[in-house]
Amino acid sequence: MGDDGGGIGGRAMSAACAEGAPVRVIHNPTSGGGAWDGEAHLRAALADRGVEWVRTGRLGEAREAAREWRDGLLLVVGGDGTVNEAVHGLGLAGFPEGVTLALLPTGTGNDLARTLTVPADPKDALETVRAGRTRVLDAARVRSGEVGERFFVNVAVGGAGEMVSEAADDESLKGRWGELAYSRAFVEVARSFHAPVVRLVVDGEERRVRALNVAVGNCRYAGGGWPAIPRANPEDGLLDLVVVEEAGLSGLLGLGRKALTGADYLGDEGVFFARGRSIRVETVPPGGFGFNADGELVGRGPVDFSVIPRALKVIVGSGYAPEPPERLSDRALRVVSQA
Ligand SMILES: Nc1ncnc2c1ncn2[C@@H]1O[C@H](COP(=O)(O)OP(=O)(O)OP(=O)(O)O)[C@@H](O)[C@H]1O
């Protein structure tokens, strides 16, 4: 298992991935509608590694299983909600240095895996875990009056995107539409959403816009392949903010078409983009829309985001680079474009 020079000492990295280093698997059997059938294969593949297998039975168990894991590989078999819980648990434990996170993406959207280029096919994803190419990513901390403190590494969305995520999480929608559940939910939300005025404060600089969607984070995708933060660099010590302003339906469709061909839409009219170490978002008046991080509720605001640089070791795919590509990959966008 190798270290490609992601900024940590080779010794620390290999300690997590070396033969015999302990592995805890956190497996959410409900992710992706429970379609994954690779448990026997994965158990056999890890047989010589002293595996602890935690099968989650409800919301919150993945968080606790991650929180108490201090040394070795933490392999999450699940979707973005399960990974988010695990990252939150590691954050609550102070992101222990001895832990390396790995993904076997069996969820519906699998958005974090898209930025990390962890393959969608579980057998290929397992090869990626075995290869052990490790990088150190920044994490994000978000605070709100309702939920307190949460940690995440992917994307938090507020406004229309939050409603889409909530609507897609409806079991019947994910059950009926599978990967297309997010696109289906978008159509429903776009019909009824009214954009509130939002006050944004990025490293002390304030701006007000009428916002349809606000995305804050560290990786690039949300909602099953939507490039919510296309220029995010997970290792630059900064969080990205992308606000889609009130654009009217035709403006929105034009923007959507452009984004889904992989083109960079951040310079377009009606899109506000900024980077910073701390980002506050509040609607005026407060409570105008909700925020979630990877599908988990963060609050209705105000919400305060801050970056935790170089917080978390993560195994990435062979195609991963921290700098965003000029055009986002077709594979990452494939799911949404089909709708
Ligand atoms: N045994 C369980 N029964 C029901 N829900 C569970 C169970 N274990 C975990 N959960 C919850 O299921 C939720 C959804 O899981 P997850 O996000 O992994 O799958 P998904 O929704 O199919 O994928 P994605 O988020 O990538 O679209 C998580 O919030 C998790 O806490």
Report yes or no on 270 lying in a domain: yes
Note whether 134 and 205 are same-domain residues: no
- Among 125-134, 197-206, 246-255, which stretch is predicted with the lowest mean pLDDT? 246-255
Give me 262's structure tokens.
Answer: 């992989």
Note whether 82 and 24 are same-domain residues: yes
The overall average pLDDT reported for the chain is 86
107 lines ligand 1 (CB under 6 A): yes
Give the pLDDT of residue 183.
66
Averaged pLDDT for residues 125-132: 95
Distance between terminal CA atoms of the chain? 39
Closest ligand 1 atom to residue 105 Cα is 26
pLDDT in tens, 206-260: 999 999 889 999 999 998 888 999 999 999 999 999 998 877 666 777 777 777 7
Residue 180 DSSP label = G
Q: How confident is the model at residue 309 (pLDDT cuts 50, 70, 90)?
A: very high
Q: Answer positive or negative: Cα dihedral of 46, 50, 55, 61.
A: negative
Report yes or no on 297 lying in a domain: yes
Instruction: Report phi then psi at 10, rounded to 5.
Output: -55, -35
Domain range holding 229?
A: 141-308
CB 26 within 8 A of CB 77: yes
Note whether 41 and 156 are same-domain residues: no
Q: Give nearest CA residue, ligand 1 atom 7.
A: 58
Note whether 198 and 267 are same-domain residues: yes
CB 189 within 8 A of CB 164: yes
Using the predicted structure, report yes or no on whether residue 135 has a pLDDT greater than 50.
yes
Note whether 147 and 283 are same-domain residues: yes
Give the pLDDT of residue 62.
98
Report yes or no on 3 lying in a domain: no
Report yes or no on 330 lying in a domain: yes
Q: What CATH number is given to the structural domain containing 122?
A: 3.40.50.10330
CA of 15 to the centre of ligand 1 (A): 30
Report yes or no on 2 lying in a domain: no
Q: How confident is the model at residue 335 (pLDDT cuts 50, 70, 90)?
A: very low
CA of 308 to the centre of ligand 1 (A): 25
Give the pLDDT of residue 3.
44
Give the pLDDT of residue 286.
86
Question: Is the ipTM beyond the 0.90 threshold?
Answer: yes
106 lines ligand 1 (CB under 6 A): no
154 lines ligand 1 (CB under 6 A): no
Averaged pLDDT for residues 166-188: 68
Give the pLDDT of residue 111.
95
Give the pLDDT of residue 191.
67
Report yes or no on 1 lying in a domain: no
Averaged pLDDT for residues 108-129: 95
Higher pLDDT, 336 or 243: 243
Report yes or no on 291 lying in a domain: yes
Distance in angstroms (rounded) separating the CA atoms of residues 219 and 307: 12
pTM of the model: 0.87
Note whether 132 and 42 are same-domain residues: yes
Using the predicted structure, report yes or no on whether residue 4 has a pLDDT greater than 60.
no
Give me 308's structure tokens.
Answer: 């935790």
Report yes or no on 301 lying in a domain: yes
Q: What CATH number is given to the structural domain containing 186?
A: 2.60.200.40
Averaged pLDDT for residues 7-35: 69
Note whether 132 and 213 are same-domain residues: no
CA of 295 to the centre of ligand 1 (A): 10
Using the predicted structure, report yes or no on whether residue 15 has a pLDDT greater than 60.
no
Residue 222 DSSP label = B
Note whether 76 and 183 are same-domain residues: no
- Among 65-79, 186-200, 283-297, which stretch is predicted with the lowest mean pLDDT? 186-200
Give the pLDDT of residue 10.
33
How many folded domains does the chain comprise? 2
CA of 31 to the centre of ligand 1 (A): 5
Note whether 239 and 274 are same-domain residues: yes
Note whether 146 and 110 are same-domain residues: no
pLDDT in tens, 80-118: 999 999 999 999 999 999 999 999 999 988 999 999 999
CA of 264 to the centre of ligand 1 (A): 31
Note whether 100 and 197 are same-domain residues: no
Closest ligand 1 atom to residue 111 Cα is 26
Note whether 40 and 145 are same-domain residues: no
- Of 104, 84, 102, whose CA–CA distance to 316 is shortest? 102
Averaged pLDDT for residues 21-27: 94
